[in-house]
Structure 1
Amino acid sequence: MSLGNFITSRTFIKHFFIAIVLVAIVLFVTLKSLMVYTNHGISYPVPALTGLNLEEASMSARANKLRVEVIDSVYNKNFAPGTIVDQLPLANSRVKENRVIRLTINSLEPEKVILPRLTDISFRQAQVLIQALGSQIENIYYQPSEYNDLVLKVMQDSVEVTEGEKIIKGTNLDLVIGRSQGNMKTALPDLTGFTLQEAQSTLTDALLNTGAIIFDKTIETAEDSLSAKIWKQLPNPKFTKQIETGSSVDIWLTTDEEKINKAYERNL
């Protein structure tokens, strides 16, 4: 039988279709096996682990068919030592089974840094050096001096600290600044819509202090306090344009967007 006749014969066609069916079956079984092996379409929610200790975080992850791994440690005074301060993927994400959640844990021992020379330099120079330490200026006090805006003393918890001393990284510092003339004034910034951190930085830049900090009932967690925004301040910048340097500004914070929007309208 010639090749042409064989190809067109019923036997060849029959076996050809059988081969196609077998290939289709093999492909189908292979794809199904891969889907089962990779849990195609199945995902698990990432639990919120922030604030938990490592054992609690591990248990929570296992309950959701996930694993945890500590990749870094920092010191954050807003969290208890040994608790989780950050996670990746974030809470409420959906991931495959056995995915590793990478954790940043709060150090048991706070990191310390050496205090550089902050006296006999300008306030702006001291501000830059303090920020480089990971710290902030909490309060500014003024003292009569022939040199205006010169740093005279550095205080921590009402105790003077000097160059070379070790302080906890992130500790806030108070500065005593020289004032060559009395009743110096600065523009009062409008803090509406600012977070607490943004407001504190802005007030420091304006040579002012953060006064009372009042959170409303919408603030329930540490995360809420970080995302909360200012809806009220005293003195009110609508009526007070300038105040004496070193004065304190009281602020009220909320997570209620409607309250914040109304504050913007009142200040127009």
Structure 2
Amino acid sequence: MKFIKFIFSKFFWINVVLAIIALYVVFYLTMSNLDNYTNHGIKIEVPNLKGLQLDQVQDSLISLDLNFEIRDSVFSDDFPIGMVIQQDPLPNTDEFPNFIKPSRTIYITIVKRQETFKVVPDFLTNVTSKNIGKSKLEMLGFNVDLEIKNHKDKDKILGLEFENKVLKAGQKLPKGSLVKIIFGSGDNGQPIELPDFKGMNVYLALNKANEIGLDLDIHYYDSIKDHRDSNLAVIYQQFPDPEINNKTLISIGSMVTIDANLSTPLDTIYSKDTVALNFKI
């Protein structure tokens, strides 16, 4: 009974009327200002920023009350540094009308510094010291790291590496790359493991011997017609032999005598090594 009396009381209906008025006022003010808040009816053609430099982009967008943000930057040899090559949203065109509201952001992709590539010199054909090699590489704009390796020839460049991969003369690397020079220690006479050259061709054996600081005395037992044949000949005997002579160590700078011919087949385990060495004979 009290609840029913309250519903029909003057106090209740006065509060109901006041609540309705308050809701109407809030709704009216919200709707009347919504257009201003959302810039309803105001639209700007999306400008074409492609091909502009960053300072030109800023000047263009200030007058339009628009902002920009660099979303990405990429290397390119075809465009200058700082040029806009992509944008989102796309520019307004007759074929593709596109509009944006004031104070919105356009996302752009620009060109960052261009990669400059330099050719790696040939340090292996002729004997080159680490100091000369280091100077030449630094003059080309490379960073240089040095690694010493047991070898009979002191300071001789034995190889180059980039990111733990063998570098060959003529390869191109970005300027500023870190190139590692591997050079000889000059520790003539220091013991190293004696390789088993049998089953290798002469080309691979010479590379292996040069890498670890051994000399090879090569005897051919076939009719060798040209340089190609001499490289293709496969080693079938050596002295000292780690198996027959029970000798596993040999001094750096020592001579190993090898016998090779064209009738002995190349051991299949060296096929991949041949490919990896870019075997051209």
Q: Tell me whether the two structures share a fold, i.e. TM-score over 0.5.
A: no
Bigger-Rg structure (1/2): 2
TM-score (structure 1 length as normaliser)? 0.37
